[in-house]
Structures are given as structure tokens and as C-alpha cells.
A and B are shown apart, each in its own frame.
Chain A
Amino acid sequence: MDEKLVPVVCPYCGVGCRLYIRSSDGHPLGIEYANDIPGISNENGKLCPKGNAVLEYVLARDRLKKPLKAKEQGKFVEISWSQAIKEVAERLKEYSKDDPNSMMFFGSAKTFNEPNYLIQKLARMLGTNNVDHCARLCHASTVSGLKAVFGAGAMTNTYRDIEEANVIFIIGHNFAETHPVGFRYVLKAKERGAKVIVADPRFTRTAWFADIYLQHYPGTDIALINGLIHVIIEERLYDEKFVRERCTGFDELAKTVEKFTPGYVEKITGVPADLIVQAARTFATGGKGVITWAMGITQHTHGHDNVRLLATLSAICGYQGREGCGVSPMRGQNNVQGACDLGVLPNVFPGYKAVSDPEGRKFFEEFWGTELSGEVGLTVIEAAHAIEKGKVRAYYVMGENPVISDANTNHVIKALHKLEFMVVQDIVPTPTMEFADIVLPAAAMLENEGSLTNTERRVQWSFQAINPPGEARPDWWIVSEIGKAAGFTGDGPKGFNYSGPEDILREVNACTPQYRGITPERLKANLAGIHWPCPSEDHPGTRVLYKERFLTSDGKAHLAAVEYRGPAETPDEDYPFLLTTVRYVGHYHTLTMTGRSRALVKRWPEPLAEIHPEDAERLGIKTGDWVKIVTRRGEYPIRAKVTRTVKKGVIAVPWHWGANVVTNDALDPVAKIPETKACACKVVKITEEEARELMKKVPPVIPEIEIVRG
């Protein structure tokens, strides 16, 4: 027996904690805390409950072990890898000849950089830019909003800067619950005397640590942020030198926020005017300030504008380009940043070169040795709509689960029924897989190796700790085999001949300027990883962005002036409540992984709809009663939890268990993100039987797929 301790990156959230897997001959024995690696994002080996339970989902009984082919919906037969690859490659080639844009590819923020690079390369070499991933549903507005103001869509600082800040403004996410290890740095700052401002419609675990707590209505963020900016400008608390030298658009901003007096903002948001004044003063005079956010800001029809305003707020206070300052969008999955960086987006190539820019395109045409489309592709949600119109006919889904993650599930399911051909590559059965024609069993993260980019732009190498089950194969291997079978057999970057993830990362080094110096050799030798941009092999990486100039065309921050818009759907007589979605610390996204972990399911067994005591009393609802949440899109059965933590008139529902059957798929016009965070609903008390009946109509988060003979 050779017992090993293998350093890996946690397969869950975007904090990107390191830990060791103890294994023997490829079998997992346990985990050990990485308290001996200086400089990683989780110092002293800290891990949240998900990180502590990482081995459980890998050992799930229903792991996919062989390629499958559908006989009818949800019923599969086992086939060989060679047959599976041949069939997928041939079908893709046919669509490519016929009309490349009839295909849609999904990358995954849950797998390494290398397969993500490959999936977009495959899509593009087959002639389409229809490639996207779940960042569309979480941080698309962060990418577009920050790009508009600063010129690029990434976190501008690191965890160390959060720790060193004097004031931290947390808006639109429950930091303590969604990223407990990241929240550590907020608490450390607070211990040093930093002030914490939290804005959230719910009084969360995070709000508990706030010095100033602003409880605004879901979807009224624009008014709230405009109100803060109003006070800061009115009282001349902004950084005049920074604004003069490094920003444009200040006058228009000042004019737009003029009417957002604290009194006016109080009327819209429900936050007392004096608290707005206090928050604005505290934030602007802190000297070093950080703003963090997540889905409460991004998942709105005005998500793009929300982010632009937060960036503007940070810029006018001069909180950019310095240590202890910056904006920190918190990413949900461990490789959201990497999947974006490597071009798993319909509008950009790796390194954010626009597909519509002839120069960038020419570079990749030469690099990959093929002609490329300059037409911006479809996003996740647009693709679902395009199926209905008959424009998209085939899906290649790598590690995604649109049936649970997309807004307005019923619509997505209707669309998936219409697809001609669907490939699903994943580690366990998902409700999306029921629609697949071919299922490709993938190795989980701990079962193969590669690089990942966490939320603070830190690229780390995760090593293989254990063996994959059955015939499951690494994602990079599957995509490169399909690439070769589709006829891309050229040498080097011109084809798909790779002997391992190292080869692929070297190709990424060659075509992605931000990753140029981040070689596999360096990552393997330096477990703490490297922050991009890292332009050369002797460059140490970059902690704080924009020290001298922003990445906009003129090098300045383009301040945003934004008029107030509320959510696309607001309460009315028929639907009197405002519904918002939340998450639990022990669960993660569509439950594909955490739902298969005994320790996590035991502690967070079911979703509960939070409702204010006064609302509950009016409706005759007690904690534990069954209710149904009804919106214009569907009905969702759930048990109620009566609690003072939500604002009156607001219902908060965790979304992991498929609550997207009721959410709104209205899109932000720029970021194309759906408004899952606010819509109108009504709440009706029901019996347990009624709930059971309704439950049958909601897709099961952990489905049983049937494997039949011959």
C-alpha cells in the first residue's frame, strides 16, 4: 500500500481552497487540511462544510461509469467509448456542414481550464460561436458591467485586500453563508477595526456582523447605490484627485444622482434616510474600501447597471489600483473565472478578444489554422429560445444542468424536448440528462488534474488524487477525442492531439496574454498559484489591477450614470409578494454534488420558504406548513419557515431544489442574465397531499436514469 497525500483544489465554490486527499492505490482514505502551504486562499487549512465533505459525492453510488445511448427519453443502453465518440463526432460534423449555428456548446465552471479551453475551441473550429456556460446565470452582469467601467470583468483585488480594507460594503450576497472561508477575511478586517456595511433584503448571517445594515427591497439596488453616491457627491466626500485624473463621466453622474436624495431613496428602498447618509459617509471616508457582491446584484434585468454603479461608487472614492481596495465579485463555482478567461463565452475568444474584432479573429484563425465565424453566438437563455424557433437543433452540454439552473424551468424543459441531438457529459445523472441522446461519463475533479482559476484570479494546479470509477474519463480527454474524430488532426494548436492537460495549458499560454507566464511547470512547483495577469514566465503575477490605468480605450474609468429601474415584475393584486431566491451554506448550485453528500443532506435536508410573521399570520401559515408559491410561470410546493429575518412582503426561497420553475426569465438587455432574484408571486397554503401532487411536476433534482439491455 502506498499512502499518499495529494494536494487538490476544493471542487466546490470560487474561493478555491486547497486541501489534501489521503489516498492509497487510487482509493480515497480521507482528507487533510492544507495548513502548511503559505499564501493560499484558505490560510491555516480552513474549510467550510462542503470542503469537509468533498469525498462523499465522488463516492456516490450512481456515478456514471460507461458511455450511454438513449433508446427513448430517460432510457439508455451502454455503449463503448469508440462508438460514443464516433457517433458524437459524426453528428456534430453533419450539423457543422449544414449550419454550424444550429449547434450550441456548454462549457462548465465546475471543471478545469483545459477542457473549457477545448470545448470552445471545438465549437469555434466547427464554425460557431454558440458557446456559453453557467456564468451567464450568475456573473454575466459582473463581466459586462465591470468591463464597461474598468475595461475588464474580473475581481480587481485579492482576499488579502479584503483583509487589509478599512471599510467593506457587502451587497446582494450572504457572504458568510455562500463563501464562509472568504468571509474569514472580512472578519479579520473587522477585528482590525474595519467597518462592515451590509445591504440585503434578509437579515442574514452576514448582516449579523454589520456595523450598518441596510434592508432594502429586492431589486431596488440602483436607487440605493445612487442614494449613496448622492450623499458622497453632495458632501464632497469623493476622491477629487482620482476622479479628475482617472475617471470620465463625473458631471453626468452628479446630475443623474441629484434627485436621489436620502428621503427619495427611502421611499423606494425602504431603508431609513439617516442610515443611507451614515453608510455613505462611512464608506467614503474609510480610506481603503472594498465592495463585494454576488447574485443579489447580478441576477436582475438591471444587473449590468447595478454592477456599473458599484464600480462607479468604488472609483469615485478612489478605491481602485491600491492595496486594501477594490471590487470583489464573489464567484459561486471554483472555475467561473477560468471558464470566462478561456473564452467559454459567445462573444470572446480566450483572453477576452472579441470575436467580432477582425484582428483578434485573424490571430486565432492562424493559431488554430481554420476559418472562424465573426458572428457573436447565443447565450444560455437565448439558446433555449432559439430551439423553439428551430434555429438550434443540437446541444453539447459539458457539466451543466440547465433544467435546474435556468430561470423558468418549464420553458427550458419544453425547449429540450424539441432538440434533435443532445450530448451530456457529466459525473452523475442530472435531470438534464434525461433528454440526452448520448451520455459521456466524466471523471470528477479529484480524479484528474489540471488548472483552475478562483474568484481572485488565482490560477492553481489540482493534482489527481484518486482513480475515476469504471470507464469514466477526464473531460479534456473526452473533448480532445471528439475533436480528433471530427477531423481536427493537425499538429500543435491546429488539432486536438494532446497527451495531457499540460499540453493544453501550454497552448493556452501561447494564445492568452493574461496566462502567458502561467505554465504547468510553474503551477506544479508553486501550490499557492499565480494571480493573472502574468505576462511572462519570470513575472510574479498581479495582486491589484489598474495601478496606473484602466483597460478601457482611454485608460480611464467610465463612470456610469443610471436612472432607477425596479424589477421587471413587481407585486400587484394577483401576485402580492416579492419572491427572491437564496442559498444554504451546505448546498451548492443544482445539488448534483452536494445532494449526494450524506453529511450535507442530513444538515440541510429540504428547502424552506422564509416568510415574515405578519404576512404568515394574515395567511394563517405556521412554520412547517406546506404552501405553494405561484407565479405567472408555474407553481412550486415548499414548506414555510416563519421568520423575522425577511422583510415584510418578501418571500425568500432557496433555489437548489429546483425553485426556478417559478422564477422570471426576463433578461438584462446587456448581460443577458435572467432576473431570478426578484419577481411577483402569491403564497397559498396547501395540504401535504396537494404538495405531493405538485412535487411530481417539479423535475427531481436527483433523477434515476434507467439502463436497459440491448
Chain B
Amino acid sequence: MARKTVFIDFSKCIECRACEVACEREHNGRSFINVFEWQEMAAMALNCRHCEKAPCLEVCPTNALYRDGDGAVLLAPQKCIGCLMCGIVCPFGIPELDSLDKIMMKCDLCAHRRAEGKLPACVETCPTDALLFGDFNDIQRMRRQKFTEKAIEIAKSGERIQFRGV
């Protein structure tokens, strides 16, 4: 099963928070992605990693957390008892308690949008492509390819310089 998730290239993030506003709009006023600023200048968006060995999923006593066809870790609200176990074991502190309904809430990789064949809202909107939606292996392959293309380009420009006798 190809497991797709949202990847973050923090070197491109401009801290515009469009992703937060988009997620909030799609999820009744609550954003499941957060943009952090470090040392005044560097910024990074963080949302659920939908981990391969998801601790939240493993500890959930009622099996309220489950995986869908794309491998996203989702929460079934009717099963959640608000015990906070998932929130405690998540190394990123992602699942949050909804104070009104007393159940946990987390990024669902925009299940409603994926069902219509659309990208998650945060990915679709990110102006700088800092957020990518895809399979980890595909993304790594793409990055390797880009790196090689650049290396070839540099090598070629080196040749040109040699031809000109520089």
C-alpha cells in the first residue's frame, strides 16, 4: 500500500500561514497544521506525520484510530472516549482534545477532499510548494532526480567553460 502523506520542505516555508487558514476553513474553524518560527527567522509547518508505526494507533484502547485506504491515520469520533492516550504518546503532540465534544481531533489528510480526488487543502494552497503530498519513496526519488539534474547541469557548464579555454 502506497502510504501518502504531507511532506514539509522547511527551507521554502515563508511563514505565510496560508496552510493554517486553509485547514481551519476545511475543518470547522480548527487548524491541524501549525507553523512555528525559530530564532526569529526560520519557519516550519508541522502536522500529523501519519507515522508508519503510529504510536497513537497502537495505544488507542477503543480502536478509534484507524488507517484508511491511503494509509492516513483517521479518528472515528463515535468510538473516541477522550482518554488522551494518543495525544500523550504522539512524539509531535498532534492529537488535541476538543474541549466541547471531549473527543480527540487530528489531521485527517483532508479525507473529504481526497474522496473527490483533490489534494489536501494545506498542500494545494501553499504558495511556495513547501508542502508536498505524496508517497515517501516517490518524493525521495524525485529529490534524487533533481539533485542529479543539477549535478549534470553543473558538470555541463564546467565543460563549456573548458571549451572556451577559461
Contact = CB atoms under 8 A, between A and B. Distances in A.
Given A49-B16, A203-B41, A205-B14, A183 B21 contact: no
Interface stretch (A40-48, A113-121, A443-451): A40-48
A605 interface: no
A393 to B, nearest CB: 44
A643 B14 contact: no
B25 A176 contact: no
Contacts of B127: 42, 46-48, 180-181, 183-184
Given A52-B18, A585-B17, A603-B20, A183 B41 contact: no
Interface string A23-53: 0000000110101000000101111110111
Nearest to B130: A187
Contact of A47 (B18, B41, B128, B153): B18
B126 interface: yes
B17 A49 contact: yes
Chain A CB within 10 A, most for which of B18, B20, B22: B18
A50 B21 CA distance: 8
Given A33-B125, A183-B127, A176 B14 contact: yes
A35 B124 contact: yes
A49 B20 contact: yes
A275 interface: no
A35 B128 CA distance: 15
Chain A CB within 10 A, most for which of B14, B17, B20, B124: B14
Contacts of A415: none
Interface in B33-74: 40-43
B12 interface: yes
B117 to A, nearest CB: 11
Nearest to A603: B17
Contacts of B25: 30-31, 52-53, 599
B12 A187 contact: yes
Interface in B136-156: 153
A315 B139 CA distance: 42
B24 interface: yes
Nearest to A585: B16
B40 A48 contact: no
A342 B14 CA distance: 35
Interface string B95-111: 00000000000000000
A431 B128 CA distance: 36
B124 A44 contact: yes
A586 B17 CA distance: 8
A183 to B, nearest CB: 7
Contact of A180 (B24, B124, B128): B128
Nearest to B14: A176
B15 interface: yes
A467 interface: no
Interface residues of A, number: 34
B128 A187 contact: yes
Contacts of B18: 47-49, 51-52, 180
B16 A177 contact: yes
Chain A CB within 10 A, most for which of B12, B22, B126, B127: B127
B14 A47 contact: no
A98 B15 CA distance: 55
B14 A183 contact: yes
A52 B31 CA distance: 13
A644 interface: yes
B126 A46 contact: yes
Contacts of A48: 16, 18, 125, 127
Nearest to B122: A52
B21 A52 contact: yes
Interface string A154-187: 0000000000000000000000110011011001
A264 interface: no
B128 A49 contact: no
Contacts of A600: 21
A176 B21 CA distance: 17
Nearest to A174: B14
Contacts of B129: 184, 187
A51 B153 CA distance: 37
A489 interface: no
Contacts of A643: 40
A645 interface: yes
Contacts of A367: none
Nearest to A42: B127
Contacts of A183: 14, 127-128
Contacts of B14: 176-177, 180, 183, 205, 208, 585
B128 A53 contact: no
B22 A52 contact: yes
B15 A205 contact: yes
Contact of B40 (A31, A184, A586, A645): A645
Contacts of B12: 187
A603 B43 CA distance: 15
A184 to B, nearest CB: 5
Contacts of A42: 127
Nearest to B18: A49
Contacts of A187: 12, 128-129
B36 to A, nearest CB: 13
Contact of A176 (B16, B20, B24, B29): B16
B145 to A, nearest CB: 14
Interface string A219-235: 00000000000000000
A11 to B, nearest CB: 15
Contacts of B128: 180, 183-184, 187
A33 B124 contact: yes
Nearest to A644: B40
B24 A599 contact: yes
B41 A645 contact: yes
A600 B24 CA distance: 11
Contacts of A176: 14, 16
Contacts of A585: 14-17
Contact of B125 (A47, A599, A644, A645): A47
B45 to A, nearest CB: 12
A709 B92 CA distance: 57
Contacts of B29: 598
A643 B129 CA distance: 28
A81 B162 CA distance: 77
Contacts of A47: 18, 22, 125, 127
Interface of A: 30-31, 33, 35, 42, 44-49, 51-53, 176-177, 180-181, 183-184, 187, 193, 203, 205, 208, 585-586, 598-600, 603, 643-645
16 contacts: A33-B124, A45-B125, A48-B127, A49-B18, A53-B25, A180-B14, A187-B12, A205-B15, A205-B43, A598-B29, A599-B20, A599-B21, A603-B17, A603-B20, A644-B40, A645-B41
Given A46-B127, A47-B18, A53-B25, 11 more contacts: A46-B126, A47-B127, A48-B16, A49-B17, A51-B125, A52-B125, A180-B128, A181-B127, A205-B15, A205-B41, A585-B17
Interface of B: 12, 14-18, 20-22, 24-25, 29, 40-43, 124-129, 153
4 pairs of A and B residues whose beta carbons are closest in the complex: A176-B14, A52-B21, A180-B127, A49-B21
